[in-house]
Structure formats: C-alpha cells, structure tokens
Structure 1
Amino acid sequence: MTTHAHHAPAGPHGHDSGHGSGHDGPVDGHASPAPAHAHGHGHGHGDHGQGHGDHADLDWSVLADHLETGAELHLPAHRRIADHLGALFGPDRPVRRVLDIGSGPGVMTCLLAEAFPHAEAVAVDGSAALLDRTLARADRLGLAGRVTARHARLPEDLSGDTGVGTADLVWTSKTVHHLGDQQAALDTLAGALRPGGVLAVAEGGLPMRFLPRDIGVGRPGLQSRLDAAHERSFQDMRESLPGSTPVVEDWAAMLRRAGLGDVRSFTALVDVPAPLDDAGRAFLHLQLSRLRENTGGFLDAGDLRTLDVLVDPASEAGVLLRPDVFLLSAVTVHTGVRPHDGARRAAS
C-alpha cells in the first residue's frame, strides 16, 4: 500500500467516480444525512457498496458486519491515512479532541484514537447500532474511555445548541456527498475546528476494481459497465437529496471557500491481491448483490445474467469460488487548516 501526497491545485478537478466507500468504506461508515443514513454507497473508503438505493429502508444493524469487514480490508490504507494526519500536527499543536463524522462501525475512529493517544476520539453517526459497535470495538482494543459516541443527524446536529462541539481534527469519509448542499456541509464542518485545527475529507479517489477484464462469462469489460451504472445511480441519488445543490466537486477549492488554508491532498492505495480470503469474498459478494439490486435498471439483460452468475454461491464462476477476484482502489483525502484568529483577520 502506497501513499502519494501533493498540494492540491487551485483549479477544478471535475467529478471523480470514487463515491463512497467503499467509500470507504466506505468501510468506515457515514453518519445520517437526515433522515436517512449515509452508509453503503460507492467505491471508495471502505467501500460501502456501489448502489444508491433508498437509505431509509436499510437496516444498519444488519449491515454492520459488512461495513466492519470492509473497513478491516482497508486497514493498511486507513493506518497510513491516520499516520499522515498525525504528521500534520507538530509538537506545538497538541490534539485533544477528534471528531469522526459519519463513523459507521468505528474502525477509523479507533485508528485515530491510536494515532492521537492524548485525544478523545468521538464517533458521530446516525445509527445507534453502529455506535454501539464502535464502543465495543474500542473496548476490545483497550481504548475504552478515550473513544466516545454521539448520535447525530447531518447536517442538523453539527451546530447550534445540539452540536457535537469543536475539535482539533475533524475527519469525515464518503459522507459529504450524501448531503444536498456539499459546500454548506464543509462550511459547517470547518466551523467545528479549533484555531489551527485540521478538516480531513475523504472524497473522490478511484473506483474499486475487483474483476479481470474478461471473466469468461458474458461480454468482457463488465467492470467498466458497472462503473457507468454506478455513476448514473449516484447522480440520481444526488438529485433526489433535500436541498440538492450542484457544485463543481473541486474539493480543494471547496475547502478554501470554507475559510481553510494550507489545503493539500494525498492518496492511499488499497491493494488486496487475488486470491481473496473468505472475508474478502463475502464482502465482495454482498457488494455485488447490492449493486445488482440498486443499479439493475442501468444494465442490459446480458450483464444482469452475468451478475447473477457472479453472486451465485454454487457457481465456480462466482466471486465466492473463482480464484481471480481482488480488491484495488484509491482513497483520496483533502485537508485544510483553520487559521488562527489573527491570521484570519489579516487575510480578510
């Protein structure tokens, strides 16, 4: 697993196809953009699944195993990301409180608690079942007392009297794109930073790859067609969100508009080669099953038949048995720093 860091250019990047976990997480999970939960959608961070169905109908307690397995498959990338974030804070910038906005089962929350041993790490999510999962994980890892949980809906519960408070580091992964006004969401998250604090947003990246170009079933190139179907499903999801506001998804520029400085981006590669173990195969099987359900309307009959073969637990050509499935994706993180009040006034 490699990480590449660079200063984010000022110009627009255009739209990237790495929506959601995959998402990672997804899987790290995402808090509830009210009234629905933001897990389970996309290629990136933790890869939470590629479809974008009706989130209100999802039972997050049932999906918790899938989310946590996906996040654990991405642990090497998540550890590298946590280490990179730690390096942004020098000895003169102590980190006492970390917010994980859209924490899911808390895999990244616990990694951040380990990376910042003097900080309280707060998991913020809209699913009580996933928050319970987070606290149980923290207890197993010896982090009880430093990892806490806060039930919240996004974006309503991030500010005002019911807000989650301020922090030195605010982390969010594959959550902002599930909120109608993405710029307003970043503005709110930036407002939760203490002076000198860092907002880290995992959005974009690259779609998950998991199949050879020619899998011996159906037309070659299925992976690319699944990506195209996901893009159409994702756009439908974006347009259906309350208060959906089109924006050029130049995350660096958006962080600057939120009042942040020293904006940078870095990317962590997720590389789990074939053959996958049983946990990896089970994760991919559920990913494809959900994709079959949520994006079937964007695929032709031949591709749907191929998906049916891939998710057939008894088929030698299915992902549970074939030897050539793998996981390969890239998670991009964009960071910005809240200026100290004096610097903010001088810049205004």
Structure 2
Amino acid sequence: MSQHHASHQGHDHGQNQHNQQSHDHSPGHHHDGTHLDWSEMALLLERQAEIASPAYTEAAAWLGTLAPVHGVRRVLDIGSGPGVVTSLLAEAFPVAETVAVDGSPELLVRARDRAEARGLGARVSTLHAELPEAIGILGEADLVWAGNSLHHIGDQRAALAEFAGLLRPGGMIALVEGGLPTRHLPWHIGIGRPGLEARLDAAHAYWFGEMRAGLPGSVDEPDDWRALLADAGLTPAGTRTFLTDVPAPVSPVVRELAVSHYQRFREGFGDRIDADDRKTLDRLLDPADEKSLHHRTDLFHLTARTVHTARKG
C-alpha cells in the first residue's frame, strides 16, 4: 500500500493517494502491492507529490495549530510512497522522529534519500510494512498521517480503530480521504464531445467501487469519516480541504504528468468508455496531433484534497 500512487479522484491519490499525495489510481492494475513495479513508477509518484507539495505543506502547518508542535515526538506517515510528505511532516514537527511506512522497499529507499538530501536524515526513518496485517508493529505515535491509503484496506473501520490504538494520549490522526476530482482540461476541448473528464470520472468511480469490493476483507462502508473516527474512540478535531491550482500555461513536468494520467485511463478503462471517447483520448495522446496534450495551451492541473482530523482523549 503506497500513499501517492493511488489517490482516488474524489477520494484522493494518491495519498494512496496512493497517492497520493497522488495519486491517481491506476485502472487495470492490482492494488495488493504484488503486481505493480514501484521502482518504475517512483519518479512519476514523486512528481505528482511535488506538484501537490504546497497544499500538503499548508495542511501540515494547519496540523501544527491543532497539536502542540514541540509535543509531537513521533509521526507515522502510513502509505508514504516516495516520502515527499514524510519530509514535509518532519519539517513541520521539528523535534519528532518521522517514520515513512510503506509496502514498497523501492519507494522507501526514495523516501530515505529525499530526507537525507533535505538534511532530515537523523529524524526520518523508514519501515517496510504490509497493511493492515502489520499495523501492530508500527509502534506508538503522537501523529498518524494516513494519506490516501485507508481506502486500500478492505475493512476501513477496523483499520481506523487500529490506527487509533497507536496514538498516545492527546495524539492525533490526520486522514486524507476525499476532495475533488483532478481536472486538466476545460469542458469543451475542440475534439470529441464536450465533457470528457466528467465521463471519465463516472467510469473511474465505477472502477473504484469494483476495486474496493475486491480487497481482502472488504466491508461496504459509507465514507462518513467523522463518524468512523468517532466510532474509533477519537474526538473529531476539524476538517479542511487544500487546493492544488496550477493554471495554464503549465510547466513541462505538469504536462508530462497529464500525459501519464490520460495514458493510464486509456490503457486501464478499455470498454468502460465509448468508442468516441477512446478516439478522443487517442488524439489527446498523439504527439503528432496539434490538439494533443503535448501541444495544448489550455492544459492545467486543479484538484483538492480533504484532511479529516481526530484526537485521542
């Protein structure tokens, strides 16, 4: 389970996601950690998270107003991916040991290297753990950050209760789930039928439901995060949504990420979208087409991620 690889649009990654922190989900791929080449995806995941870094920096600063900064001694970044947010949390809580927790050893190497490059190596560590089975080995924490990772666990209610059990008295959980779907294009793009992204969202939502239902021990649980946190014995402490807004014209890195985003839709959805929309995606992905993502002047990156917090009494 990785944070930034897999942020469900509207639930995000990616956190996951997945995040994700990114993370967008990868339609057509498995989410048990055994069929994804994280080393191959690592650069993409890092770039996704870096674009969202201002929003996550703002979120971390907000957490510092809810929890005593110098009282936070240990932070768990659950589903850390390549550790972009891990380092941001370490900077926001300067006396804490911050632990990147992920199921991918390759991404944890990236997290460790990033922390060392930012001068945080003495306070950032990594822990390889497959969740939810390994939640019990994570140890106590004053802050548990679960960024777009909880929705990769079949029984979210049970996992939240276990996360709550990791908190020291007065400790806090920050759960990144939900927000708004990522947008890259206007409603009318001059090719195909207007409203392409809304139709892709619908296909993605259906796919996400199938992904959730296929997880081991999956429980059909409404996304009432405040209620779930309260049922875990915690006191809800506030919810905020943080915006990532990169207007046109975008940098080459943002353009590259948009191309990757649509490539994954095209490869993963197949018959989930109609022939006209597949044709539009093919044109968007064709570098020789003047209407493609490679040349468009109307390309942007806009999304929002919601952080739900709760405190242990």
Using the size of structure 2 for normalisation, the TM-score is: 0.93
Q: Report the Cα offset of residue 80 of structure 1.
A: 0.3
Q: Hey, what does 1:32 align to over in structure 2?
A: none
Corresponding residue to 1:232 among 206, 215, 220: 206
How many equivalent pairs are there? 304
Aligned residue number for residue 193 of structure 1: 167
Residue in 1 that maps onto 2:151: 177
| 2:93 matches 1:116 | yes
- Whether the 8 Å CA contact 2:9–2:182 is kept in 1: the answer is no
Is the partner of 2:194 in helix, strand or coil? coil
> 1:172-227: per-residue Cα shift (whole Å, max 9, x none)?
11111111111111111111111100000000111111111011111111010010
Question: 1:1-348, aligned counterparts within 5 Å?
Answer: 18-21=10-13, 23-24=14-15, 26=17, 39=18, 45-49=21-25, 51=27, 53-55=29-31, 56-90=34-68, 94-159=71-136, 163-339=137-313
SS of the counterpart of 2:287?
Answer: coil
Counterpart-to-counterpart distance in 2, 1:187 and 1:196: 16
Describe the shift of the 1:296–1:57 C-alpha distance in structure 2 as closer, same or farther (beyond 3 A). Answer: same
The Cα shift of 1:57 comes to 1.9
- Tell me how far apart the structure 1 counterparts of residues 30 and 22 of structure 2 sit (CA, whole Å): 20
1:305-326 CA distance string (max 9 Å, x none): 1111112233221112211111
Task: State the distance in 1 between where 2:128 and 2:23 align.
Answer: 22
Q: 1-side partners of 2:16 and 2:130: how far apart?
A: 19
Change (3 A) 1:237 1:49: closer
Q: Percent identity?
A: 50
CA distance in 2, matches of 1:50, 1:204: 17
**Does the CA contact (< 8 Å) of 1:50 and 1:230 recur in 2?**
no
Asked if structure 2 preserves the Cα contact closer than 8 Å seen for 1:52 and 1:234, the reply is: no
Q: RMSD in angstroms over aligned alpha carbons?
A: 1.5
Q: State the shift of 1:52 in Å.
A: 5.4
Q: Is the 8 A contact 1:119 1:146 kept in 2?
A: yes
In the alignment, is the contact (CA less than 8 A) between 1:274 and 1:325 conserved in 2?
A: yes
Quote the offset at 1:252 in angstroms. 0.4
What per-residue deviation string (whole Å, max 9, x for no partner) do you get for residues 122-167 of structure 1? 00000000000001101111111111000000001111xxx11010
Q: Secondary structure at the match of 2:71?
A: coil
Whole-Å separation in 2 of the counterparts to 1:152 and 1:24: 17
Show the counterpart of 1:3.
Answer: none
Distance (Å, rounded) in 2 between the aligned partners of 1:258 and 1:312: 49
Distance 1:103 1:46 in 2: 11
Q: Within 2, Cα distance between the matches of 1:73 and 1:49? A: 17
Q: Quick one: structure 1 residues 297 and 19, their matched pair in 2 at CA, closer, same or farther if it must change by over 3 Å? A: farther
Tell me the distance in 1 between the aligned counterparts of 2:182 and 2:28.
16
Q: Distance in 2 between matches of 1:198 and 1:53?
A: 33
What secondary structure, in the 3-state scheme, does the structure 1 residue paired with 2:193 have? Answer: coil
Whole-Å Cα distance in 2 between the matches of residues 310 and 108 of structure 1? 31
The answer (yes or no) to whether the contact 1:49–1:287 under 8 Å persists in 2 is no
| Matching residue of 2:5 | none
List structure 1 segments (4+ residues) > 3 angstroms apart after TM superposition: none
In 1, Cα distance between the equivalents of 2:133 and 2:28?
22
Deviation of 1:90 (Å): 3.0
TM-score, normalised via structure 1 length: 0.84
Distance in structure 1 (CA, Å) of the matches to 2:26 and 2:193: 20
Q: Note if contact 1:198-1:335 (Cα within 8 Å) is conserved in structure 2.
A: yes
Please state whether the residue corresponding to 1:334 is helix, strand or coil: strand
Structure 2, unaligned runs of 5 or more = 1-7
Q: Looking at both structures, which has the greater relative contact order when contacts are Cα pairs under 8 Å and sequence separation is at least 6? A: 1
- Compute the displacement of 1:84 (Å): 0.5
